[in-house]
A and B are shown apart, each in its own frame.
Chain A
């Protein structure tokens, strides 16, 4: 009993001083941190921590400027310095879908050394505001349907839609105007892609992000009461997204007896499974795209005896339908692309190898090559058409004058584009049952001034056409089972007849 009392007394005195004593590390730790920082961090964060390294111009979100003491991911009040553990966590976990990788290969000592060295970049860490207290981060309660419904209300009450959009696709009205503290354009998170959350994707991470805010970005801290509403908001945001990206290796087109009608919209494709492809910047040829506006593309496809329809959907914070676009437009080298007089529209393209693809290899992934051409179905979304181009490489594209039946619509931050083609077309790939057609997708985000070779693209992937009728496995199963049974019985009978006298 006495021990318990002592313990409680101790706790009473210890708890209020949980505010960390400012620990700046030893000279040796900071020196080790400096060497490590110069080897692994300085090319983005800059030799003096000002976020101005050699790679900075090519990264968005930009690498953090440590000199201002402003940190996004904290367990401390909005505007305060982070705790040591906050800095360690950011180094260890990195920030998904940015230039900041996780550093699991560093030892605890190495991470500590880096943390101490990073703290030398800002005087705030040795000043009067250096002592900070981590806020209480409760463990998440279980998810209930009611809390998700309530979370939607909290989402609306707190104007989250202004930046994140009605369905959370990052398409709020303020979206296109957002910049960080350093006036560099920044995007509201697409809440339907939890795997891209910079501060982590667990419910605890989401809780930390909205209760403490992302300092330096337009994301404020929200003090929502009662606490049940905080978790309701977390559960709602959590419910908007699946856990992982689950990128596909091919798309499957399903057979339908109905007509393929692009104007019927997305509902007509609900029977087709969704394939989700990673989309990354075209960084291979001049015009390189270092921060493409689109990072994933959902594909569904359906076909009947004569036609195939391919539906492409992606999230885009704004529908850019003014301006022009084209797969062959010239692009100056980044970051010299400063003339903004010409606006560019959003656009999308599907690329197939020309002909029957029997030549062995494929055309080069960037619009084909001199000896192997591609057929490009290119839809500039400022027009209601998808035009046909023959590509023999970037800068070597010819419009054939042919166009395809297309529909395009934009709703709640999502483009839906449907392109229809005959399954057999002279000189172009034929879509055969039960066959894999190589395909590659490109998306241009007009807001990010993407055109020509500056775009997001997938790798070569495949479109598989499910045959109209799949054979029932029952017949063959019965047949092969029966044959095996007869063989077994036959062998048994033979062996028994011949060797029955051997039996001891």
Chain B
């Protein structure tokens, strides 16, 4: 979010409100405001193809709004007619008639000289998991399965602490290089990876997933992703090749412990 840009747009809209602008000016103001906001107000910036798509929808919506009622239609038409016919505006009219073609030419110039953009590969971040997976020969049901060590948290805190300590070791010998010391997805290799490693501190990653889902992601890694999640790009290893099942559960519990997040639990169905 680029807060300054967003605030400037809101200020401009408040200005329009005070000027008691008519529908046409409002439509123009909203169009320009949204264009500027979408182009410069968001980080990372939208790809230009997505931006054109959004603007096309916005344009359609505004035209529909302006032409939807007879009063508004008349108000808009009157504004245009007055501007074109009234002698007081002749100077401005000539200005517009010259400025418009120049703007169009400039846009054509920009389009034809801009650097080419590499293909965008959209990817689903949290794809739907399969029902069951086989981890090193043992089947695991993702829908009904659960972390066999989680119950220790209440039943045997000392044993649970040992699992966390082992998870810590596993993390710092295997995961830290990409997911980072503070688990923000910014390890020392993260800058060379595309897509970037998951940020576990973020509320939209492990906090909204069940532990069995993480077990799937850890055990099967990038190669185990469905094609809508571009398995060929992901640098996440299939950890079943390196770690035991217990080590994978331990590191999952350590992720939650370190970040202070809680795993999502499935609600009991009665």
> Residues of A with Cβ closer than 8 Å to B?
39-40, 43-44, 53-55, 58, 97-99, 101, 103, 105, 245, 247, 249-250, 277-281, 283-286, 290, 360-365, 369, 372, 434, 436, 457-462, 464, 471, 473, 476-478, 480-485, 488-489, 491-492, 495-496, 499-500, 502-504
List which B211-267 residues lie within 8 A (CB) of chain A: 221-223, 227, 230-233, 235-237, 241-242, 258
B177 A283 Cβ-Cβ under 8 A: yes
B118 A464 Cβ-Cβ under 8 A: yes
Beyond A43-B172, A99-B176, A280-B191, whether A462 also contacts B231 by CB under 8 A is no
Residues of B close to A477: CB separation below 8 A:
105-106, 108-109
A496 B85 Cβ-Cβ under 8 A: yes
Interface size on B, residues (CB 8 A): 57
A278 B232 Cβ-Cβ under 8 A: no
Residues of B close to A278: CB separation below 8 A:
191-192
Residues of B close to A480: CB separation below 8 A:
101, 104-105, 108
A481 B85 Cβ-Cβ under 8 A: no
A459 B235 Cβ-Cβ under 8 A: yes
A422-B107 Cα distance, complex, nearest whole Å: 37
Residues of B close to A284: CB separation below 8 A:
221-222, 235-237
Q: Could you list 5 further interchain pairs (A-B, Cβ under 8 angstroms) beyond the known A43-B169, A476-B112, A485-B97?
A: A101-B188, A460-B194, A473-B108, A499-B81, A502-B82
A285-B234 Cα distance, complex, nearest whole Å: 12
A-B contact pairs, 14 of them (CB 8 A): A99-B176, A278-B192, A284-B237, A285-B241, A361-B227, A361-B231, A363-B232, A372-B232, A457-B192, A458-B192, A459-B194, A461-B194, A473-B108, A477-B105
State the Cβ distance, B266 to closest chain A Cβ, in Å: 30
B188 A98 Cβ-Cβ under 8 A: yes
Residues of B close to A283: CB separation below 8 A:
177-178, 189, 235, 237
State the Cβ distance, A390 to closest chain B Cβ, in Å: 16
A361 B230 Cβ-Cβ under 8 A: yes
B112 A281 Cβ-Cβ under 8 A: no
A500 B85 Cβ-Cβ under 8 A: yes
B112 A471 Cβ-Cβ under 8 A: yes
State the Cβ distance, A272 to closest chain B Cβ, in Å: 15
State the Cβ distance, A291 to closest chain B Cβ, in Å: 9
Residues of B close to A500: CB separation below 8 A:
85
Does B75 interact with chain A (Cβ within 8 Å)?
no
B241 A473 Cβ-Cβ under 8 A: no
Does B93 interact with chain A (Cβ within 8 Å)?
yes
B237 A499 Cβ-Cβ under 8 A: no
Beyond A471-B112, A473-B108, A495-B84, whether A281 also contacts B169 by CB under 8 A is no
Residues of B close to A281: CB separation below 8 A:
177, 189
A97-B190 Cα distance, complex, nearest whole Å: 11
Among B15-23, B145-153, B179-187, which stretch is in contact with chain A? B179-187
A105 B182 Cβ-Cβ under 8 A: yes
B233 A459 Cβ-Cβ under 8 A: yes
Residues of A close to B189: CB separation below 8 A:
280-281, 283
Beyond A462-B118, A473-B108, whether A40 also contacts B194 by CB under 8 A is no
State the Cβ distance, A319 to closest chain B Cβ, in Å: 24
A91-B182 Cα distance, complex, nearest whole Å: 13
A249 B118 Cβ-Cβ under 8 A: yes
> Residues of B with Cβ closer than 8 Å to A?
80-82, 84-87, 93, 96-98, 100-102, 104-106, 108-109, 112-113, 116, 118-119, 168-169, 171-173, 176-178, 180-182, 186-189, 191-194, 221-223, 227, 230-233, 235-237, 241-242, 258
A488 B81 Cβ-Cβ under 8 A: no
B191 A247 Cβ-Cβ under 8 A: yes
Residues of B close to A464: CB separation below 8 A:
116, 118
B172 A101 Cβ-Cβ under 8 A: no
Point out the residue from A53, A101, A473, A478 that lies within 8 Å of B186, measured CB to CB: A101
Residues of A close to B105: CB separation below 8 A:
477-478, 480-481
Beyond A54-B169, A495-B80, whether A502 also contacts B85 by CB under 8 A is yes
Residues of A close to B81: CB separation below 8 A:
495, 499, 502
B181 A485 Cβ-Cβ under 8 A: no
Residues of A close to B119: CB separation below 8 A:
436, 462
CB closest residue in chain A, given B177: A283
B176 A504 Cβ-Cβ under 8 A: no
A53-B176 Cα distance, complex, nearest whole Å: 13
A467-B202 Cα distance, complex, nearest whole Å: 43
Point out the residue from B112, B180, B192 that lies within 8 Å of A280, measured CB to CB: B192
Residues of A close to B80: CB separation below 8 A:
495
B168 A58 Cβ-Cβ under 8 A: no
A297-B256 Cα distance, complex, nearest whole Å: 37
CB closest residue in chain B, given A282: B235
Residues of B close to A290: CB separation below 8 A:
177
Residues of A close to B82: CB separation below 8 A:
502-503
State the Cβ distance, B49 to closest chain A Cβ, in Å: 14
A279 B235 Cβ-Cβ under 8 A: no
Among all A-B residue pairs, the 10 with the closest Cβ atoms:
A280-B192, A278-B192, A43-B172, A280-B189, A481-B101, A481-B105, A473-B112, A55-B172, A477-B105, A459-B194
Could you say which of A98, A362, A471 has the most chain B C-beta atoms within 10 Å of its C-beta? A362
A97-B186 Cα distance, complex, nearest whole Å: 11
A259-B100 Cα distance, complex, nearest whole Å: 46
A318-B118 Cα distance, complex, nearest whole Å: 35
Beyond A284-B237, A285-B241, whether A476 also contacts B108 by CB under 8 A is yes
A484 B104 Cβ-Cβ under 8 A: yes
